[in-house]
Amino acid sequence: MEQKKTWHQHHKDSLDFGQRLADSVANGMGSWRFIIIQSIIVALWMLANVVGFIYHWDVYPFILLNLLFSTQAAYAAPIIMMAQNRQNERDRAHADADFKTNVEAKKEIEELISRLNSIEVDKLDKILEIVRRLESTK
């Protein structure tokens, strides 16, 4: 039996390589793991350049480090924006799927109400018939 795909699975399957890469980069850069690792690297970079006994490749005020941060930010911002745009697409797809589900549920509820009303009318008709029979026998 084939299992139906959810809206999220359909959306995920429709992503190309670049979109999946942008999402994973944005997820990675938005994590505590990334912040901690980057902080350790920056601390080691600064320590190595302040204490370096033989060679200081990036002396204070760490111009090369600032250049690396600027380059990272220049690439990170558009990648994160691409991921946010896809998040908006996912949200729209989710809202659309919810709307369709709600419309289907509303139709089913209306059918159930109609059936219950029909059952209620049938019960009342039977009760009236019983009452008429009892009155006619008196």
pTM for this model (two decimals): 0.60
How many alpha carbons fall within 13 Å on the CB side of residue 45?
18
Average pLDDT over residues 17-42: 89
Instruction: Give pLDDT, residue 119.
Output: 94
Least confident segment among 16-25, 33-42, 71-80: 16-25
- Mean pLDDT estimate for the chain: 87
Task: Say if residue 53's pLDDT is above 70.
Answer: no
Instruction: Please tell me the distance from the alpha carbon of residue 35 to that of residue 21, in angstroms, as a whole number.
Output: 19
Instruction: Please tell me the distance from the alpha carbon of residue 8 to that of residue 10, in angstroms, as a whole number.
Output: 5
- Tokens read off for 106: 């509303």
Task: Say if residue 2's pLDDT is above 70.
Answer: no
Contacts 24+ apart (CB under 8 A), 72-78: 76/25, 76/29
Domain boundaries, the chain: 17-106
Instruction: Give pLDDT, residue 1.
Output: 55
Average pLDDT over residues 37-47: 92
Instruction: Give pLDDT, residue 134.
Output: 86
Per-residue three-class SS string for the chain: CCCCCCHHHHHHHHCCHHHHHHHHHHHHHCCHHHHHHHHHHHHHHHHHHHHCCCCCCCCCCCHHHHHHHHHHHHHHHHHHHHHHHHHHHHHHHHHHHHHHHHHHHHHHHHHHHHHHHHHHHHHHHHHHHHHHHHHHHC
pLDDT digits (tens, 9 = 90+) for 63-119: 999 999 999 999 999 988 988 888 898 889 889 989 999 999 999 999 999 999 999
Instruction: Please tell me the distance from the alpha carbon of residue 122 to that of residue 115, in angstroms, as a whole number.
Output: 10
Q: Please give the residue that has the higher pLDDT: either 7 or 36.
A: 36
Instruction: Give pLDDT, residue 33.
Output: 94
CB of 18 closer than 8 Å to CB of 11: no
